[in-house]
Amino acid sequence: MRKLSLTEYSVEPSVKLSAEDCDALRGLNADITISPSIGSPGCYDLTPSSWIGAIELPNLTVQIRPKIAISRVLFLLSYAMDPKHWRDIEFNFGEEDSLFEAIIPGFIFHTKRAFSRGLLKSYRLEESALPTFRGRFRVQDQLNRHFGIAPPVEVTYDDFTDDIEENRLIKAALHCLERMPIRSIEMRHQVRHFKSVLHSVELIAYDPRRLPTVYYTRLNHHYRGVVELAKLILRSVSYDLKFGTVSAAAFLVDMNDVFEKFVWVALREALRLSEWQFPSNGGNHSVFLDRAKKVSLKPDLSWWEGPKCVFVGDAKYKRINVSGVKHPDLYQLLAYTIATGLPGGLLCYAAGEGEPAIHEVVDIGKQLQVTSVDLSGDPKEILSDIERIAVIVRGLRAGGYLLQQVS
């Protein structure tokens, strides 16, 4: 099988592709720009966007690598999933491995650790028709379905079971991995083994865009790592895809989402705020640009004290390009500051996407500050950079104008 290696936002020129492969790549949610190569019939220039991972076609394997080291991507992912215990998430891989192959050992490690205490169980409300009485009698259902004749008896009861959401998510992720081409024989064996451990758990076909929220307590916190990795896998894996006569499978992660979630979690931790005080995308708080409240805004970063927003900001992995519009990121941040009534806001890029600056808007006096996170260092250096940005956030929250650029 032919292998092709791409790097996000970098042009790979003159790649020979069949018409079927072109259609399959265009049909995937990978956002790869495919342009015919000038002077090379049957060849194309490929430019990936922010999606990284692996794509499997019948005769072609495509790896899309991040601009930064895979180890850094795994750090961003693991810290965002669990900032208190991110060091416990083990990923055994070589830098030549794809992101997909690197994530599987971490998922298996967390599965093994979570299951070492036995499968998590909880009470689940059940409604059923039973031969004997149990729980609470549902009189109306008994009359409607059985004309009052018993047995069976329509009842509602609490069942102590391992067929709960946490285990269902893990089993669904294992099922996805089982159908993907995993190179490691040992990892394939482990995936099948742990899926068999969950034999009594229902296999759910989750919509990756609407995964259930799992709330962690002292009873299920040891499941946090494996559940969050399971959700990442469910959002990222696609298999049995058909594009004409070509089938495809893919594991794709959007670096925009990875970066935005990391910045939100890391800043929240650095500021020592709760999710309610520093929610993602505004949380349950409403922010409107217009008086009629028809233009709703969802800032990536916001700090709330009661019903009042005291800081607003945006996180961008890549500078947005809009045809015919210059500086759309600054316009978006300006809208946030106007809607919240704040004197200024913060735009946080990944390093290399925006130079540190403070822009004072004419007439209305809003200050739009631009900074960046350097993702090239080790985790300690990256978190130190986040602490620097937290100082800027505290300054903006205090309502003070920063009159000099902060590097």
Could you give the CA distance from residue 93 to residue 183 in angstroms, rounded to a whole number? 12
- Per the DSSP assignment, residues forming a β-bridge with 8 are none
pLDDT tens digits for range 180-196: 888 889 999 999 999 99
pLDDT tens digits for range 271-318: 999 999 999 988 888 899 999 999 999 999 999 999 999 999 999 998
Question: Cα dist. 175→118, 233, 398 in Å?
Answer: 20, 10, 50
Cβ contact 24:248 at 8 Å: yes
Name the residue ranges covered by the structural domains of the chain.
2-117+165-255, 122-161, 273-397
pLDDT tens digits for range 15-59: 998 888 888 888 776 788 999 999 888 899 999 999 998 888 888
- Per the DSSP assignment, residues forming a β-bridge with 405 are none
- CATH class, domain 273-397, is alpha beta
Strand (E) or helix (H) holding 310? strand 308-316
With a threshold of 0.85, does the pTM exceed it? no
Could you give the CA distance from residue 318 to residue 384 in angstroms, rounded to a whole number? 21
Is the per-residue pLDDT at 401 higher than 50?
no
- Per the DSSP assignment, residues forming a β-bridge with 51 are 254
Question: Cα dist. 127→51, 108, 138, 301 in Å?
Answer: 43, 34, 9, 42
CA-based R_g, the chain, Å: 25
Could you give the CA distance from residue 389 to residue 267 in angstroms, rounded to a whole number? 8
Is the per-residue pLDDT at 402 higher than 70?
no
Coil/strand/helix, residue 321: coil
Cβ contact 127:156 at 8 Å: yes
Q: Which of 265, 270, 268 is nearest to 303 (CA)?
A: 268
